Amino acid sequence: MLVEYHRTLISDKIRSEAFRRALEKTIKRSETVIADVGSGTGFLSFLARKLGAKEIYLYEHSELMMLCKKLAEENKMDGMHFFHEHSTAIIDPPKVDLVISETLGNYAFEEHIIANIENSRRFLNPGGTIIPQKIEQFACPVITDRFYRELCVWDDAGYGLDFDAAKEMSLNNIYVRAFSREDLLDEGKSAQKWDNADLTGKCRSKRNGAAEWTAETDITVYGFAVWWKCTLVPGVELATGPLDPKTHWEQLYFPAREPLTIKRDGGLSFAAASETSYEEGTVISWQIAGGGKKQAMDLRKGYLG
Torsion sign over Cα 68, 58, 235, 271: positive
Distances in whole angstroms, Cα of residue 260 to Cα of each of 12, 158, 184, 213: 37, 26, 14, 13
Closest alpha carbon to 95 in 130, 126, 66: 126
pLDDT of residue 2: 78
Question: What domains can be seen in the chain, in order of their start residue?
Answer: 2-102 (3.40.50.150), 135-302 (2.70.160.11)
Rounded Cα–Cα distance for residues 46 and 258 (Å): 49
pLDDT level of residue 257 (50, 70, 90 thresholds):
very high
3-state secondary structure of 126: strand
pLDDT digits (tens, 9 = 90+) for 128-148: 999 999 999 999 999 999 999
For the entire predicted model, the pTM comes to 0.95
CA distance 118 to 199: 8
pLDDT in tens, 233-244: 999 999 999 999
